[in-house]
Amino acid sequence: MEFLFLLIAFVFGLGFRFIGLPPLIGYLIAGFVLNAWGFENNASLQQIADLGITIMLFTIGLKLNINDLLKREIWLSSILHTTLWIAIVSTAFFLFSFLGLPYISDLSNETIALIGFAFSFSSTVCVVKILEESGESRTRHGKVAIGILVMQDIFAVLFLVAATGKIPSPWALALLLLIPLTPLFRKLLDQSGHGELLPLTGFIFALGGYHLFEFVGVKGDLGALTFGVLMAGHVKANELAKSLLSFKDLFLIGFFLTIGLTALPTLEIAGIAMLITLLLPIKFMLFFTLFTQFRLRARTSYLSGLIMSNYSEFGLIVGAVAVSVGMLDKIWLVILALSVSFSFVFTSAIYRTSHNSYKKHKEFLKRYQKPSPLKEDVYPSMQGTRVLVIGMGRVGKGAFTTLAKLMENGVTGMDADLDKVSALKELDYNAILGDGENIDLWENVNISKVELVLLALPSIQDSSNITHQLRSAGFKGKIAAIARYEDEVAPLMDVGVDKVFNFFTEAGLGFAEESFELLESTP
């Protein structure tokens, strides 16, 4: 049966990929199709889904800087958004009740507030997956979104404790000992090597954290996230996250299937779910307003708000707990599941054109931007830059350090990840913080003296977007980019890239050339 589930998920996922939509939409629909055929969720599939969420939370923790959560634009925005959203949903349901809609007209005020709380969450699974697929998890708007998601996860844990009356064990205080034990955990990661033992180490930390927290009466998901945070900043944290990526994506297919297998909706239920989905633009506007009021730039506020405009799997968890304690009718679990599914489709489809839509409407959106940005949003200086390397991953950093030695000055490295930029600055390299896909950046910095831009980015879509924006901003210099596969070369050349280096071909060529020098030097 599990093979059939995977086969149907593959067919629908591949089908949606062919029409240019994210495969996760196909997985959701596959779940509803299986439900219509009479299949039900089972323990094996649910275990796979839970494992996917656990690994995902652990990898989020690996990339999380706890100081980000202490910023006012994160914690206060989260609190205000949840509070205001509950008020908005309560008002909307009050108006819907006058229409005599089924499942709504007879709800009490307390139940409406609970439903509003369930719908206040944004989907960690959906947001993180879209950010990773677009290569934006370390950008400014990606970090803001992830910070809000973590705060919402904390709200969910507090609700579950209050609703179930399940007080953590006194032994939960012993979890504080994890902090002094962190050096030991990091030492274990040091010894894990680079092969199959590395992802196995990740599984041990993620599942160990989950079960440890469950053992002392604290939600296990928080344990997986906490262990990830403890390992964040380690030199191998990024490598560990990448080693778990394929496992996480595979297990999360089970999660998307379980949403569709929750229950088979009727036409009335689908109508109510669609009506609730129509509230998503309001959710976006609320996020956008709060972010701009806290002095985030219009582009960051727009992209963060847009990707957060969905409903969450945590809403389903909250709803299930509320049903179990008699606070909510079980029919609302079906409505929640369907609304979550619709919202995933909405976010996945609309975010694909988010950068272009911002460029189209940026003059209008920037009217709501505060005149004095936050410190981390101040545009960098390109003074003295002749060669600009965008993307400080392994390839970009290698190109940057080599050019810096050859040219001595005039080479600048740029990345959206503050940690990478700070590390390079500590080595006295000229590195600046910036998001290459930010059209506002190129319109507000002087790039007239830049002669060459190297795009060391894994996504050709990102490289294409940056190339288009550079040319639109009047850049007359040369642009070089990397490609991982042969079929990625032509699309990059078509958008204006002057030279494309096939990563694997060029690596082999360089290896051969340098090795041949050994042969020539042999007496």
* pLDDT tens string 43-71: 888 888 889 888 988 888 887 777 778 88
For position 512, what pLDDT does the model report?
A: 64
Give CA–CA dist 504/354, Å, rounded: 31
C-alpha to C-alpha distances, 255 to 26, 47, 248, nearest whole angstrom: 13, 9, 11
Name the least confident of 201-205, 290-294, 299-303, 394-398: 394-398
Please count the residues of the chain: 523
Give CA–CA dist 259/267, Å, rounded: 18
pLDDT at 307 over 90: yes
For position 462, what pLDDT does the model report?
A: 82
Q: To 10 degrees, the CA torsion angle through 247, 253, 258, 259? A: 120
Average pLDDT over the chain, rounded to an integer? 85
CB atoms within 10 A of CB 226: 20
Q: Which residue has the higher pLDDT, 39 or 505?
A: 39
* Most confident of the ranges 263-267, 332-336, 368-372: 368-372
Average pLDDT of the residues in 418-432: 83
Are residues 259 and 316 in contact, defined by beta-carbon separation less than 8 angstroms? Answer: yes
Name the least confident of 26-40, 148-162, 180-194: 148-162
Are residues 485 and 512 in contact, defined by beta-carbon separation less than 8 angstroms? Answer: no
For position 295, what pLDDT does the model report?
A: 93
pLDDT at 34 over 60: yes
Average pLDDT of the residues in 415-425: 83
Average pLDDT of the residues in 144-158: 85
**Long-range contacts from 288-292, C-beta under 8 angstroms, 24+ separation:** 288/368, 289/368, 290/77, 290/80, 290/81, 291/73, 291/77, 291/144, 292/368, 292/369, 292/370
289 φψ region: left (φ > 0), alpha (ψ -120 to 50), beta (else): alpha
For position 210, what pLDDT does the model report?
A: 92
Average pLDDT of the residues in 402-428: 83
Q: Which residue has the higher pLDDT, 264 or 286?
A: 286
pLDDT range class, residue 281, cuts 50, 70, 90:
very high
Name the least confident of 16-30, 76-90, 404-418: 16-30
pLDDT range class, residue 517, cuts 50, 70, 90:
low
Average pLDDT of the residues in 323-327: 76
pLDDT at 1 over 70: no
Q: What share of the chain is helix, strand, coil (3-state, %, to 5)?
A: 70, 5, 25
For position 503, what pLDDT does the model report?
A: 67
pLDDT at 306 over 60: yes
pLDDT at 523 over 70: no
For position 161, what pLDDT does the model report?
A: 65
Give CA–CA dist 89/95, Å, rounded: 10
